[in-house]
Structure 1
């Protein structure tokens, strides 16, 4: 693909007629190109119309057959040159361009902390393959939909730990989420208040226009030294919006097969009242997810509610190249005019 430069003679390069160059253009008036096949048809029609009205000159010829010579083809040369001239004019009228467009995106991101329960009850299989793996998959999908948002990650069981700081390094977040496993926190239990405290500590000095904490748990607060409702009030004081997601079903749910291959069922309960109150204090919403599709729909809803506005600026550098083909057309027109004044032209047809 050629780019026009300041060299005065660049237009003479045959590369302007290569398929790669022509296909690289954006044509302002591409409909003009449909007229190209009409050029040879017009000349064919002209010859058919003039076939019977052509002027003839009586000449005395010698006896014998007249042998064909290649020079007789030269009489078609002026018409060929003129057809090429017309084709180049049409190319110029179609206005070939090359557009270099740059897009600059700016966004005032928000801060989000995901708090994920990794206690033993998250191993229950009422959501395929289990509650924790379903939550991890949906969290990964949620990260893929964010732009310029800083996201942090907190895991908790009997204790709570910050697994990833607030960052826009989404690949690092994916790796950290994939690394989450059962028993990564030795002390079992559900320390919801401690998880909220770590999330608040991560965001309390943030200057983001919006701060959001998303809590995913399947139980009730059974560990930690901080009451979850007190933690919710602290979050409200630091302008952190709280979304709580209760995952799993209540009642008898499948756990895992025993040594005989028989599926074990355990009793599962969720302190929905506390989860709702946490979300209410934090001016967010409570959601209940008993299937992976429901969990995905919840994150889609949160993604819509907490969407970052992206401002997009486009810069277009447009360069016209019709001048190249007009210059070639003028050369061919001059060539055609010269040929019309040589022995090649049939003077009886002019």
Structure 2
């Protein structure tokens, strides 16, 4: 507090008094005794008041406004007690700071961008639906490091593990079917690239989320062997099979009519990968189901958030104590003036 800050009259505004936290609010009960104290005070004053018998004519007995001044010392003393009670209640303000942290989880997302991800059984298509839920998933994390791998006939790392979620979502936005020219679905290669990105991670929890709509048809690494390698690095694997069975819309023909293709998906490989990775397998057939799966994974893989709370408390009782002392000294001074005349009318 600045040396002269106590001089401000703002300390006596109702707004300022309401803003305080009071360490000893029980002191305020003393204010209920004030009427009784005043009554006793007046009675004692009446009983002990000295009088002087004088003879005056009725016309010489006049009331003077100056006589009101005799109440000033009593008012000042009453204000002194009020200020001392405010100081005893110990007004203060507390600024609580919360520091949150978590050990964090390392998560690698593997997204299939093969040609079949253009199928429109999801809106607007499978890839765009996957990108939407991936973005929402990223923004819902706290201090986790997340990386991104895309794959079709080959697999490559789109983003290393990072906690810069805005940058990561930029990478997700830029995913398209032209990133990899080679056709096919290299699931084993994608798992291997993801494992390579996470193998030096010191995180206690490492998670891989694999999203694909097809069987392994490309790459030179068997998906099962790649999953066993990931398991050796304690990486948990969730697999998501995306797409409906049967006829599904896939673009338009020469006349602008919706074209349908027959879609099948062998779940065996993806189920086996999830089993080896001690994760779970999910099958989704629409946008809502895909969102629900990512929400479920988000709940499964939440790191415990710990927090420290710091309280920065500032006391303001000195303001009222200083004012109380000043008024008390003023009261003592007035006791020696004509205002506190021993003879009171």
- Whether TM-score is above 0.5 comes out as yes
Q: Conserved in 2, the CA contact under 8 Å of 1:229 and 1:278?
A: yes
Could you tell which deviates more after superposition, 329-338 or 15-24? 15-24
Aligned partners of 2:7 and 2:327: how far apart in 1?
12
Secondary structure in structure 2 of the residue aligned to 1:151: strand
Match of 2:184 in 1: 189
Matched, 1:208 2:190: no
Matched, 1:162 2:148: no
Secondary structure in structure 2 of the residue aligned to 1:163: strand
Match of 1:299 in 2: 294
Aligned partners of 2:75 and 2:115: how far apart in 1?
84
Q: Which structure 2 residue ranges, 5 or more long, are not aligned?
A: none
Q: Conserved in 2, the CA contact under 8 Å of 1:245 and 1:287?
A: yes
Secondary structure in structure 2 of the residue aligned to 1:230: helix
Match of 1:92 in 2: 87
240 and 89 in structure 1: CA distance in 2 versus 1, 3 angstrom threshold: same
Q: Conserved in 2, the CA contact under 8 Å of 1:252 and 1:265?
A: yes
Deviations 1:105-158 (A, max 9, x none): 343222211011122322333233332222222222222232332211101122
Matched, 1:118 2:81: no
Aligned partners of 1:265 and 1:349: how far apart in 2?
110
Match of 1:171 in 2: 166
Deviations 1:241-275 (A, max 9, x none): 11101123222223345565533333222221111
134 and 73 in structure 1: CA distance in 2 versus 1, 3 angstrom threshold: farther
Aligned partners of 1:77 and 1:258: how far apart in 2?
100
Matched, 1:317 2:308: no
Match of 1:331 in 2: 326
Could you tell which deviates more after superposition, 274-283 or 142-151? 142-151
Secondary structure in structure 1 of the residue aligned to 2:169: helix
Match of 2:134 in 1: 139
Match of 1:253 in 2: 248
Match of 1:128 in 2: 123
Aligned partners of 2:254 and 2:230: how far apart in 1?
46
Deviations 1:143-201 (A, max 9, x none): 22323322111011222111101122222212111222233322333211111110011
Q: How large is the RMSD of aligned CA atoms in angstroms?
A: 3.8
62 and 306 in structure 1: CA distance in 2 versus 1, 3 angstrom threshold: same
Q: Which structure 1 residue ranges, 5 or more long, are not aligned?
A: none
Aligned partners of 1:278 and 1:85: how far apart in 2?
80
68 and 171 in structure 1: CA distance in 2 versus 1, 3 angstrom threshold: farther
Aligned partners of 1:62 and 1:261: how far apart in 2?
117
Aligned partners of 1:34 and 1:265: how far apart in 2?
82
Aligned partners of 1:193 and 1:10: how far apart in 2?
71
Secondary structure in structure 2 of the residue aligned to 1:234: helix
Match of 2:275 in 1: 280
The TM-score normalised by the length of structure 2 is 0.80
Q: Conserved in 2, the CA contact under 8 Å of 1:119 and 1:183?
A: no
20 and 217 in structure 1: CA distance in 2 versus 1, 3 angstrom threshold: farther
